[in-house]
Amino acid sequence: MERLRRFGYDLGMGASSRRTRKPPRATTYAASGVSLVAADEMEDRIGPLVRRTYGPRVLADHGGFAGAFRLDFGEKLFRRNYVDPVLLSCTDGVGSKVLIAARAQRYHTVGIDLVAMSVNDLLCAGAEPLFFLDYIALHRLDPAVIEQLVSGVVAGCEEAGCALLGGETAEMPDLYRPGTFDLAGFAVGVVERSRMMSARRVRVGDELVGVASSGLHSNGYALVRRLLLDEARLALDSAPRSLGEPLVDALLRPTRIYARAVKTVLGRYRGRSAISGMAHITGGGLEGNLPRILPPGCRCVVRQGAWPIPPIFGLLARHGVADDELYRVFNMGVGYVFAVRPRSTAAVVRSLEKIGETAFVLGRVVRGEPGVEFR
């Protein structure tokens, strides 16, 4: 394609309905609040960014209105052929974290969050992330802002090893207030059916190896904003002593993407069936996400204090959030968990540490009703 046909526009809404005087007659799209000139500039800016995520499986020159991606192909260098492939898909957003990004006018990290939230879920099935699509909706199309948002999505896709295959940008001045926007993302992956993770594989005696989060990730921001920004009235550029950094840095630090960690562990230990299950620790924390990988008759015992807790959670505690609420809402420093056969636990931890991850044994699977018990 000569131009990157990445974005369509759902721009049928008119100008703002707030009226203090009779509005000018809308005889053009621009007069109704939608700028096609800005749309063209946006595509010129983001085209080179998006193409950075393309590999040999993306058919970038087929034309049409949809992105194209080959599942099987025969190039010697990148050969990928599946016997019984299963496609998996996930969708998610960044939540009200986007309000902090808009308030700080810092847009380049929430795109990473967007990719991470869907891709990390795909990884739990043992899937290879193939491609990603995004949806950006906003009050007014600002090509510079879109470029920052998409640059974050591109960075997330590069880290996850998937292609940014398409997207949609909707300029809707009647629906969004000035300066506001929202993000949604959609990921597709594939796994050989015989290698697909299942709760049936987890059994009593398996140990739980956690991988550190980068902080809040993208969950619980309604509570965070209300408590720290609205009630405590902390400024985004303030640096609470217990935090050791500006508050805005802690709040906008992007969600970790665990693709490399999963690829390393499964690539090295799958043959010995060392990994029995994986969990992405998102909203609901350990208590809400670990039971999703447990079969009947099994529960998790988690040792509190077995891993480092990022300072942002201590700041929330000091402003009145009880411990049980912290563990019920947030990841508390654990972003991803592997259920591992005991004979392989130490080796899995060493492998994760070698690639720069902070890994730790946080508990084990015991007999009982599905759930999580903290000790």
pLDDT of residue 38 exceeding 90, the answer is: no
Which residues, 6+ apart, have CB-to-CB distance to 162 below 8 Å?
Answer: 53, 115, 119, 129, 130, 131, 132, 187, 189
pLDDT of residue 4 exceeding 80, the answer is: no
Q: Is 89 helix (H, G, I), strand (E, B) or coil?
A: strand
Q: Is 319 helix (H, G, I), strand (E, B) or coil?
A: coil
277-295 average pLDDT score: 94
69 compared with 120, residue with greater pLDDT? 120
On average, the pLDDT of the chain sits at: 86
State pLDDT tens for residues 53-93.
Answer: 888 787 776 556 677 877 877 666 556 778 899 999 999 99
> Per the CATH hierarchy, to which homologous superfamily does domain 199-374 belong?
PurM-like C-terminal domain (3.90.650.10)
pLDDT score for 152: 97
332 compared with 70, residue with greater pLDDT? 332
* Domain edges within the chain: 7-195, 199-374
Nearest Cα to Cα of residue 70 among 53, 89, 54, 57: 57
pLDDT score for 3: 32
Nearest Cα to Cα of residue 160 among 112, 193, 195: 112
Give domain 7-195's CATH number out of 3.40.50.2300, 3.30.1330.10, 3.40.1110.10, 3.40.1080.10. 3.30.1330.10
Q: How confident is the model at residue 225 (pLDDT cuts 50, 70, 90)?
A: very high
Q: How confident is the model at residue 47 (pLDDT cuts 50, 70, 90)?
A: confident
